[in-house]
Amino acid sequence: VKAETPLHSLLGMTAPVILAPMALVAGGALASAVSAAGGLGLIGGGYGDRAWLERELDTAGKARIGVGFISWALENQPDLLALALKREPCAILLSFGSVRRFASTIHNAGIPLIVQVQTVADACIAVSEGAAVIVAQGTEAGGHSGTRGTIALVPAVVDAVSPIPVVAAGGIADGRGLAAAMMLGAQAVLCGTAFYAARESLAHVNAKRATLDASGDQTVRSALFDAARGYVWPPQWQARSLVNDFQKRWSAEAGISSDRLKLMQEEYRNALTTGDTGTMAVFVGEAVNLVQSEESATAILHRIMNEAHCRLSGHRSLGASA
Ligand SMILES: Cc1cc2nc3c(=O)[nH]c(=O)nc-3n(C[C@H](O)[C@H](O)[C@H](O)COP(=O)(O)O)c2cc1C
């Protein structure tokens, strides 16, 4: 899996692995570790916590990193884009909403715009609005996603936006996934779940521990944790996380009144301070089966690369063609 495509020179990568901009999880240390190992680390600008973003950009220092934002949240705090651009990131990734308002600012700064999409139609819109790279994200992903599966979405997006480079995301956490993504026409993969429990990740220690023996069978997409956190997400995107007691209990309640919602939000806030994974969301995807130990980001990336090399050089013949 040599980094020899136009995408790799555009983003300065030698390994086709991009760290997903996980809100409050992918900070400066994790992003710079992934970049130092040859991939590309993206800091998770998420919902726009300015102090958090400044601190994590400081932590990354002069490292070759990029920054990701949630587009609809950035609409409310567009100055955060200027803050990120001042640090001369090597890319900006936008997901979940129109990029029309931001594309020319990013382009004028000479920085590649990566847009993460969940449908073929949105991939075409993103290209028309100025995306230099498309991430096709399947519903297997941790965190927010749409409803299409990675294996059918990626080649459809590759065909629709060619020659714009496409990155595959959603359910990819080892070398088998990377090799498969390359076969589908992707030039790299973008991984969140694979790095969630990395040593440099800012996820709560209890949340990291909860992923180590969890199965993708225990993940579900829902809007419940957005309500608990007070976020109003557009309905086409829901977030995948481990099922827990809080979610089961509140999901069973039909038509939550505003008083009950306040109670739910208070219960959720309290759990964040205690790190109670029976209540707080552990946003990981179906690939959580493949996360079995807390490793360094470098070890994770090297393992994915080595496995993919083995798969691609030794893959079995399909037998005689018809
Ligand atoms: C904990 C977590 C937080 C995430 N936060 C964001 C985010 O703030 N912005 C974003 O564009 N994507 C976010 N994502 C989705 C990722 O960008 C990516 O699509 C996903 O992690 C890929 O699937 P995987 O988890 O199977 O690797 C998040 C994912 C996770 C696991």
Q: Is the CB of 23 under 6 A from ligand 1?
A: yes
Q: What is the pLDDT of residues 120-168, one digit of tens each?
A: 999 999 999 999 999 999 999 999 999 999 999 999 999 999 999 999 9
Residue with tokens 């297997």: 140
- Give yes or no for a contact between 186 and 167, defined as CB atoms under 8 angstroms apart: yes
Q: Is the CB of 38 under 6 A from ligand 1?
A: no
Residue closest via CA to ligand 1's atom 1 equals 283
Structure confidence at residue 6 (pLDDT) = 87
Give the residue, out of 18, 22, 140, 153, with the most ligand 1 atoms within 8 A of its beta carbon, to mutate for a pocket test: 22
Give kind and range of the element (H or E) at residue 216: none
Structure confidence at residue 322 (pLDDT) = 60
Helix axes 150-161, 120-128, angle to 10 degrees: 30
Give the residue, out of 193, 201, 238, with the most ligand 1 atoms within 8 A of its beta carbon, to mutate for a pocket test: 193
Q: Is the CB of 68 under 6 A from ligand 1?
A: yes
| pTM, full prediction | 0.97
Per-chain mean pLDDT for the chain? 95
Please choose, from the candidates 29, 5, 35, the residue with its C-alpha nearest in 3D space to the C-alpha of residue 17.
35
Q: Is the CB of 191 under 6 A from ligand 1?
A: yes
Give the residue, out of 47, 96, 144, 280, with the most ligand 1 atoms within 8 A of its beta carbon, to mutate for a pocket test: 144
- In percent, the amount of the chain with pLDDT more than 70 equals 97
Burial 224-251 (b: 16+ CB within 10 A, else e): bbbbbbeeebeeebbbbbbebebbeebe
Q: Is the CB of 46 under 6 A from ligand 1?
A: yes
Which residues of the chain are modeled with pLDDT < 50? none
Structure confidence at residue 2 (pLDDT) = 54
Two structure tokens written together for 269: 């806030």
